[in-house]
Amino acid sequence: MIKTCIVGASGYTGAELASLIHCHPRFELNALYVSAKSQDADKKLGDVHGYLFGQINLPLTPLTDDALHSLANEMDVIFLATPHEASHDWMPVLSSGKAKVFDLSGAFRLKDQQVFADYYGFAHEQTTSLEQAVYGLADWFADDIKDADIVAVPGCYPTASLSALKPLHEAGLIADGHLPIINAVSGVSGAGRKAAMGNSFCEVSLQAYGVLGHRHQPEISAYLGREVIFTPHLGNFKRGILATITVKVNTDVSAEDVANAFNQAYQEHPIVRIRDTWPKLDDVVGTPHCDLFWKLDVNKGYLVVTSAIDNLLKGAASQAVQCANIRFGFASQLGLVHGVSA
């Protein structure tokens, strides 16, 4: 079994990771860590997240500097479900041993350090780790992931958006000079467990935020290979992301061209499902899937694509497990989809 630990295990994503690894046929959950000042320190995970009560009895151990060095050499896999600053600071130590590190923060996604500083609000000082990190959009970058020591797991909005747009871009169907327009709505779990008025369930209605300045915009643009206009919205529901994307296509692009682009992109990637109707959040919440559907207006030359994911799973935890599966030579959907064997 592959020895695995999770740092930042008390959060929503950390708990989902623990649940997935606990049931995984090849990874063994050995330890759970939280920050030294966490209010959940020394509690059992099942006492913090009741749906895991009686299933995962490991304690949430406060992380120390000494533990960082030990984990790097004793673990095979380390998942970081931590704030950007923590991942940034801890990565050189955690990646210095045999462990492969899968970081779910945004600390190592953007290669341009100035863009990073502009959007994340602090200077990136871990140049060597940043150079080592590969982007973990699992259904697109498996060749990079399989040899990586550090994997930067994509953000939830970029996962939904890039899954819809990359087949079109790679097939050359998007009109030159056109910026795809992404409108995406997320449930409040995307903001994490920390209490704040802006994401309190009773305070949230449905509103745009981070307009023309959200940190996921440069991430989407960087890994799509063209600029986009990205507008996120916060909705009054727990989990899930629904992204609706409008694209101007080249002259003479047909519905058959669009269908071929999506089918060729995902025919060997069963986590992404091409639907025959508009996906809804109920279809994907609690699953590792990304569901896509599209419609082309041939006369006007505009294409609308909808992408639906669970922000805590395909947008975070299950994609991290996909990446770990790929890194260790397993089918990417192992432990995520029933009936898949190693």
Please give the positions annotated as active site.
Answer: 156
Give the long-range contacts of residues 22-26, CB within 8 A, separation 24 or more.
22/55, 22/56, 23/335, 24/321, 24/334, 24/335, 25/334, 25/335, 25/341, 25/342, 26/1, 26/2, 26/328, 26/330, 26/334, 26/335, 26/342
Residue whose entry in the numeric block shows the structure tokens 């770990």: 324
Contact present, 217 and 230 (Cβ < 8 Å): yes
Residue 270 CB neighbour total at 10 angstroms: 16
Identify whether the C-beta of residue 145 lies closer than 8 Å to the C-beta of residue 151. yes
Helix-, strand-, coil-residue percentages of the chain, each rounded to 5: 35, 25, 45
Locate 311 and state its tokens. 């922000």
Contact 253, 259 (CB under 8 A): no
